[in-house]
Amino acid sequence: MSKPAQIDTCQRFLFSQSDVRGEIVRLNKSYLDTVSNHAYPEGVRHLLGEFLAASVLLGSAIKYEGRLVLQVRGDGELSLIMSECTSEGAIRGIARFDSPPKSSEFTTLTGDGVLVITVDSRKREPYQGIVSLEGGSLSAALQTYFDQSEQLPSWFIFAVDGEQACGFMLQQLPGSSQQDDDDRDDAWQHLVMLAQTLTTSELLQLDNEALLHRLYHQEQVELFEPRTFHYQCSCSRERTARALISIGKEEVDSIVAEHGAVNIACEFCGTEYQFDAAEVSMLMQERGNVLH
């Protein structure tokens, strides 16, 4: 097996004789940068890797300019797990919990919740899609979402190890090359059946060309240039200052009185921002001017 190069990419492919497209995502550095900021148990690292890969795949399937957020808030061992992908290729993610989760099972980690997909576009009103967590996996939930909300049959598989997070997606497109519904359905079922023979170890170890040849050497497949992705947190001193103002003057003043300054760390990347007494006073004064 030829192991793929360690670069964060998503690569599209099309079947020339069928109304089906696909995407293969491979995240190495961005995945490691995301999970290295926190002491996550292995099961959480694995699921967060799936979420990161899924947000990239969704971003390739849904046209937008802005950011796409994929998250679950449930009553399982995780109170929140979310990933974010911008149209510029920046990704990040986080998981929250009260006690370190001991399980690696999707349903135990997420509990009874819903999968929420938010598209925050700069050019149109935000869109939010919500789907139940039936099926016992992120793949199943995403397939249900596309079936119900987008009316686009889709199929997903994810694979995560200690170094990378990978994802593979097939999606049926609106009819163009195939007008007969039975022919379209037969072609879709055939391509999905072949994809279902793909193992997680093959997804992790084979490069994209070898993987597609392994699955579809009898099909006409067009492979496009890959798009690159990178880890990037959107936190800043200005955004943190706005968050500080929202806490309220009385509480902030009590923190300054006790510690001499206010320290706020970004929960995504861990960057710490410090505001001394003079800065806090100025911020609160500006807040008062805005309110009046």
If one compares 81 and 248, the residue with the highest pLDDT of the two is 81
Upper half-sphere CA count for residue 74 (Cβ side, 13 Å):
22
Using an 8 Å Cβ cutoff, are 53 and 165 in contact?
Answer: yes
Inter-residue long-range contacts of 70-73, CB under 8 Å, 24+ positions, other chains counted:
70/115, 70/116, 70/117, 70/118, 71/115, 71/116, 71/118, 72/110, 72/113, 72/114, 72/115, 72/116, 72/133, 73/113, 73/114, 73/116
Q: CATH fold of 237-291, please?
A: CBS domain Like (3.90.1280)
High-pLDDT (> 70) share of the chain, %: 94
Say which residue, 282 or 177, is predicted with more confidence: 282
Q: Which of 114-123, 155-164, 177-186, 244-253 has the highest mean pLDDT?
A: 155-164
Q: What is the pLDDT of residues 81-136, one digit of tens each?
A: 999 999 999 999 999 999 999 999 999 999 988 999 999 887 788 889 999 898 99
pLDDT at res. 289: 41
Report, as an integer, the average pLDDT of 135-159: 92
Q: What is the pLDDT of residue 9?
A: 96
Q: How many CA atoms lie within 13 A of 246 on its CB side?
A: 7
pLDDT at 268: 80
pTM summary value: 0.86
Mean pLDDT over each residue of the chain, to the nearest integer:
88
223: left (phi over 0), alpha (psi -120 to 50) or beta: beta
Q: Extract the tokens encoding 24.
A: 């293969």
Residue the block writes with tokens 């923190």: 255
In this predicted structure, the answer to whether residue 178 has a pLDDT above a threshold of 70 is: no
Could you report the per-residue pLDDT of 210-219, keeping only the tens digit for each? 999 999 999 9
SS (H, E, C) the chain: CCCCCCCCEEEEEEECCCCEEEEEEEECHHHHHHHCCCCCCHHHHHHHHHHHHHHHHHHHHCCCCEEEEEEEECCCCCCEEEEEEECCCEEEEEEECCCCCCCCCHHHHHCCCEEEEEEEECCCCCEEEEEECCCCCHHHHHHHHHHHHHCCCEEEEEEECCCCEEEEEEEECCCCCCCCHHHHHHHHHHHHHHHCCCCHHHHHHCCHHHHHHHHHCCCCEEECCCEECEECCCCCHHHHHHHHHHHCHHHHHHHHHHHCEEEEECCCCCCEEEEEHHHHHHHHHHHHHHHC
Q: How confident is the model at residue 2 (pLDDT cuts 50, 70, 90)?
A: low
The 10s digit of each residue's pLDDT in 24-79 is 999 999 999 999 988 999 999 999 999 999 999 998 888 888 999 999 988 999 99
pLDDT at 287 over 70: no
Query: Quick one: pLDDT band at residue 292, thresholds 50, 70, 90?
Result: very low
What are the structural domain ranges in the chain? Answer: 9-231, 237-291
Q: Which CATH superfamily is domain 9-231 in?
A: Hsp33 domain (3.55.30.10)
Confidence of residue 176 (pLDDT cuts 50, 70, 90): low
Please determine, for residue 290, whether its predicted confidence score (pLDDT) is greater than 60: no
